[in-house]
Structure formats: structure tokens, C-alpha cells
Amino acid sequence: MKTVVITGGAGFIGSHLCDYFLEKGYRVICVDNLITGKEVNISHLKKHPHFTYLNHDVSTPLHFDERIDYVLHFASLASPKAYQLYPIQTLKVGALGTHNTLGLAKKHQATYLLASTSEVYGDPLVHPQPETYWGNVNPIGVRGCYDESKRFAEALVMAYHRTHHLDTKIARIFNTYGPRMAIDDGRVVPAFLMQVIRGKPLTVYGDGSQTRSFCYIKDLTEGLHKLLLSSEHEPVNLGNPAEMTIKQFAEKILAITQSPSKIVFEELPLDDPKIRQPDITKAIKLLGWKPSVPVEEGLMETYDWFRAHAPSR
């Protein structure tokens, strides 16, 4: 039985990865200090014989005596609300956390996967965004702590690959949604769904013409697994290329949920990307992967989960 360490394993994506790898027959060690992760996301796994939870901040070193086969570094403060509240911790987990987890992988000669992000492209001047694009990032802006932490993490991963010949992977993850998203993290899917549940207007920033592409969590976990087992070492975009404006997305949520809520417009946040759409040509060619869950289906499942788990007030 192979063992996988998943940092940030009590978070949204991390907890789904814990589920996925246990179902695939792996032993899973979940590492999370719960700064944004939630223990309830993994509570159903606590009695699983092949699951272990460790409360630990990966910005400090971690060690395991048992053999480790894979290290997936997902510990991060990924929402604007979280990383603007904890900018130093965000930079530390991107820099020190990546360094420590790479050291763990090197010690065990484990395969390493970094959860990078579409935010490395910043407010892009190339559309859609291929992996060859270097990005348009404001390093000292309010989003810089997150964007630059991931850009540095990518550079460090490639340095370990080239210097120590470590088997490394880099996933550039675009907007992903699904059950277990934090209801209060400020991102568009939980924000809209909670406004619908509470009978409030949907808040669209700017004129709503900025675009996003939304990938359901089930599709993402499958893509991450394929990338982990591949021979590719340079970054690979994982996301849904079906682009829509935020206003269109708000209208789609209102239609799916049959909500009578209205749309209201507010000032656009600083450095908010105007466009975001992955070019997944590389993922299709190298991994044989592309999203398959229709956004209507994924949103309905997410909405049902929010109604069952989120407070109405």
C-alpha cells in the first residue's frame, strides 16, 4: 500500500483528495493546522484504518519515520479574504512550507505535487492562458502575497527537480467549486449561493464583465491524480475552459436555484483579474484529461450541500 501525505488536507480541495486517494487504496496522512481548513471536512475519515490526521503548520519542518511515496502540497490560504487577513502566513506557507515539504519528499524520494494556481498569471494580457505565459502580476499589491508565494513555490519546485532530480509536478489550478467550500471565504460560488439561501441580492463587482471558468471538484481530483502519475515536470493547467462573465454566472445560479433574488453591482476590488480562462491543450494531450461535469450539475450538487450544511443567517 502506497502512502500519500496531503498538506492542507482538511481544506476544500485537500479533503476531497483525502477521500479520493483512500478510495483508490492509498494510505493517507492529512496534515493541516486548521488556519482555514476545517476538521469537519475530514471527520468522516477519522475511523478509516488507512487515514491519519496530523495538526501541524508545514511552515515548520515535519518528519515521518514510515515510508512516504507521494507528497501533495495543498496547504495555502487560497481565498482573497484569507490571504489578505494573513498575508505573512500566506507567504510563509508558499516559501517555507514548500521548502519543508520538498525536503520531506527528497528524504523519502517521493513524488511531489505542488498545488499552484491560475493566479500566477495575474491579470493576464494573454487569453486564454497557456502554461508558456509568464503572467502580469503586481508583486506589491494586495494580492501579491498569494500570487508571489505561488510563483516562488513553482521556482523552488523546479530547482529541486533540476538540482536533486526529484520527481515533481506542478498543477496550475483554475477556479474550482463544490461541496465543502468555506461559506465565508468571499469567493464567488459560496458568496452567490449563500446570498441565494439567505434571500439576499447577488453582489457582482464592477459591471460583471470580468470572466471566470469553473471546474467541479470531482473533475479536478481526477486531473490531479493523472498528473501525479504522469512523467510531466513542468506546469500543467487544470480547469474548465468554459468561460463566462460573472454576470452570466450570477444569472445561471439564479436560474438553477429558481431564486427571486436580484443582482446588485458594487465597486471592483483592486487588482481583480479581468479575464481568466485556462488553455488545457497540454492536459488533454499529456494526461488525456478534460472536465466532464456540466456546470449546471455541479452547481446543483454544491447548492444542495450548502443548503444542508450552511446556516441560513
Q: pLDDT tens for residues 1-46?
A: 999 999 999 999 999 999 999 999 999 999 999 999 999 999 999 9
pLDDT at 7: 98
pLDDT at 10: 98
Q: Is 70 a catalytic residue?
A: no
In sequence order, which residues have a C-beta less than 8 Å from that of residue 185 and are 6 or more positions away?
36, 79, 81, 82
- For the ranges 7-21, 110-124, 178-192, 233-247, the lowest mean pLDDT is seen at 178-192
Q: Is the pLDDT reported for residue 86 higher than 90?
A: yes
- For the ranges 23-37, 120-134, 141-155, 180-194, the lowest mean pLDDT is seen at 180-194
Q: What is the per-residue DSSP string for 107-170?
A: HHT-EEEEEEEGGGGBS-SSSSB-TT---B--TTSTTHHHHHHHHHHHHHHHHHHHHH---EEE
Q: Is the pLDDT reported for residue 126 higher than 70?
A: yes
Q: Is the pLDDT reported for residue 313 higher than 70?
A: no
In sequence order, which residues have a C-beta less than 8 Å from that of residue 96 and are 6 or more positions away?
58, 59, 60
Task: Tell me how far apart the alpha carbons of residues 269 and 192 are, in angstroms, rounded to a whole number.
Answer: 17
Of the listed 20, 83, 121, 146, which one is catalytic? 146
Where are the domains positioned within the chain? Answer: 3-176+217-240+277-292
pLDDT at 217: 98
pLDDT digits (tens, 9 = 90+) for 170-205: 999 999 999 999 988 888 999 999 999 999 999 999
Average pLDDT of the chain, as a whole number: 95
pLDDT at 185: 82
Task: Tell me how far apart the alpha carbons of residues 193 and 184 are, in angstroms, rounded to a whole number.
Answer: 11
DSSP E strand boundaries for the chain: 3-7, 27-31, 51-54, 70-73, 111-117, 168-173, 176-177, 202-205, 211-213, 215-216, 236-238, 243-245, 263-266
pLDDT at 45: 98
Residue 147 CB neighbour total at 10 angstroms: 24
What amino acid is encoded at 23 in this protein?
A: E
Q: Is the pLDDT reported for residue 270 higher than 80?
A: no
| Arithmetic mean of pLDDT, 281-285 | 98
Residue 213 banded pLDDT, cuts 50, 70, 90: very high
- 204 in Cβ contact with 246 (< 8 Å): yes
What is the DSSP-derived secondary structure letter of residue 72? E
- Among residues 278, 282, 163, 164, the alpha carbon closest in space to that of 232 is found at 282
Q: Is the pLDDT reported for residue 64 higher than 90?
A: yes
Q: Is the pLDDT reported for residue 221 higher than 70?
A: yes
CATH 1.20.120.330 corresponds to the domain 3-176+217-240+277-292: no
In sequence order, which residues have a C-beta less than 8 Å from that of residue 251 and are 6 or more positions away?
263
